[in-house]
Amino acid sequence: MRFFLIAGEPSGDRLGAALMAGLRQLLPEVAFEGVGGPLMQAEGLESLFPMEELSVMGIAEVLPKYFHLKRRISEAAKAALEANPAALITIDSPDFNLRVAGLVKAERPGMKVIHYVAPSVWAWRPKRAEKMAKSVDHVLALLPFEPPYMTAAGMSCDFVGHPVVAEERATASEAAAFRANLGSDPLILALPGSRRGEVSRLAPIIGDALAEVKKLHPNVGVLLPTVRGVADLVRQLTADWPVQPRIIEDAAGKRVAFRAADVAIAASGTVSLELAANRVPMVVAYRLNPVSMWLMRKMALIDTVTLVNLVSETRTVPEFLGDDCRADRIAPALLSLLDGAPAQVAAMEETMRRLGEGDTPPGLRAAQSVIRFLG
């Protein structure tokens, strides 16, 4: 059985890799084609083109690359049709993936299309589910409250859990040895995002916030896990930080950093769940291009963007968004977390329970859902 998968950013690459591993466990002769990053490639995918080309977000960010992305949409759709897979599986990145799905369905209505990660219709643009149903047959949802939104729009949908609950974590002894080797205390995770635009906007603000923390904690250490596509930019933008971060690119180093850290300052997104899995208290900071930020606020249906807050039905993770994304506001919140955050840790525990921690691995559950849907 052959599948054509498309992921457009690092979080989608993780989801795709876990799904591929699950499919291989259930279907030993399975084969894969499509677009993915290093994790999916490690599972046997030869990417049609570099996944990093798709990692753009926001109207102002996409416009300069519009024609290039349009060509990539056509290339991906053509390759999917030529592969004639059992199903086209699009993973997150809806602005790109659903256009590919639309072209495929227009050419070959009978091809099954599965979308992994339900659109956040509970957060903004609620009509997206109805529009998506024109080109998607089945949805794999990460959050337990999402299936009813999808089925109401005419698609089948299964909650499969979030892969973060099954990802490997460093041990306490590994974290202790890491801390002892660094000799810094406290340790702060700085996570300015995985897209170039995110990093460019957040890195200076995070650096200024860390300067305030250093005044009260002169021995503070900063850990900055990053991804291949923005590593050089991260080094450039952190060169003048008051605390030089330890930049980490390898997966093993990232796992230890997440386990060893005391607190984190993070861009909004899936990373909040990685922090929750490691029980690292966090503040969330995010700043889009002003036009994109204005549109997002205008269309928002919820009062928080942090998944820990949403899944746990609490508001324990402080957020600094748009004009509030300022060092003089972020620094006091970070300092407060260093004094203890029992309510936030409890919310993280509940988040992980609701996302399936301790249950069947989500990648395998997603694979079971795919096979069940295909009959």
- Tell me whether residue 201 is in a domain: yes
pLDDT for 163-200, tens place per residue? 888 888 999 999 999 999 998 899 999 999 888 888 88
Q: Domain check: are 122 and 191 in the same one? A: no
Higher confidence at residue 295 or residue 72? 72
* Distance of alpha carbon 35 from the chain centroid: 17
- Tell me whether residue 205 is in a domain: yes
Q: Domain check: are 200 and 141 in the same one? A: no
- Tell me whether residue 29 is in a domain: yes
Helix (H) or strand (E) holding 247: strand 246-248
Q: Domain check: are 16 and 137 in the same one? A: yes
Q: Domain check: are 254 and 135 in the same one? A: no
Q: Are 90 and 114 in contact (CB under 8 A)?
A: yes
Gap between the Cα atoms of 251 and 257, Å rounded: 10
pLDDT for position 134: 94
* DSSP per position, 263-310: EEEEESSTHHHHHHHTT--EEEEE---HHHHHHHHHHB-SS---HHHH
- Tell me whether residue 339 is in a domain: yes
pLDDT for 20-38, tens place per residue? 999 999 998 999 999 999 9
Gap between the Cα atoms of 128 and 126, Å rounded: 5
Q: What is the mean pLDDT of residues 328-342?
A: 94
Kindly report the CATH number assigned to the domain that includes residue 187.
Answer: 3.40.50.2000
Instruction: Identify the weakest region by mean pLDDT among 44-53, 258-267, 346-355.
Output: 44-53
pLDDT for position 85: 96
pLDDT band at 67 (very low <50, low <70, confident <90, very high): confident
Q: Domain check: are 155 and 101 in the same one? A: yes
Domain that holds residue 58: 2-161+359-374
- Tell me whether residue 167 is in a domain: no
Tell me what percent of the residues of the chain surpass a pLDDT of 90.
67
* Distance of alpha carbon 43 from the chain centroid: 19
- Tell me whether residue 166 is in a domain: no
Q: Domain check: are 256 and 335 in the same one? A: yes
pLDDT for 258-305, tens place per residue? 999 999 999 877 889 999 999 999 999 987 656 555 555 555 556 677
Q: Domain check: are 196 and 332 in the same one? A: yes
Model confidence at 102: pLDDT above 80: yes
Instruction: Identify the weakest region by mean pLDDT among 8-22, 222-236, 286-300.
Output: 286-300
Query: Strand pairing of 246-248 and 221-225?
Result: parallel
